[in-house]
Amino acid sequence: MTNLFEKSLLIGFSIFLLTIFSAILIPFLGELTKYSEKEMNELETYIDFLDEINEAVLYIIQNPEGSYLQDIQYPSNLNLTFFNTYIVSEFLIEGNIYSKTSSYNASFHNCFFHNLPPQTYLLNISYLLSNILVKFINLY
């Protein structure tokens, strides 16, 4: 009889502790989910921007006599470096530094865009002699 009574007390106490811990942890799980969604949205913004740069460069490689002009929203905390046949992009999300390097069959005029303020720019990409020239022109 006492063995059954002790088991029921242990089960009741375990359920009580589980209820208290879950009440404490559930609000933090919501915050972790919001943090993860915010980080994914920022990462998606950077990836979309870099994809647009990639499409513009590929367009110029295929059409060397043309030029590419497009309004583009430059994100914050992004550093772009164009040198030789590479584009190196580094961006900061929630204290973590991410880097992406792209390689092309054509060479770039060496330039870098570091610490540009996040705003709308006119992206101008064209061939200059034998190098691809990339410019971000301030619209405002």
Q: Kindly report, residue by residue over 5-58, the tens digit of the pLDDT.
A: 888 888 888 888 888 888 887 777 676 666 666 667 788 888 999 999 999 999
Residue that wins the pLDDT comparison between 89 and 37: 89
Give the Cα separation of 112 and 110 in Å (integer).
7
Output the pLDDT for position 88: 93
Model-level pTM? 0.71
pLDDT attached to residue 66: 86
At residue 127, does pLDDT exceed 90? Answer: no
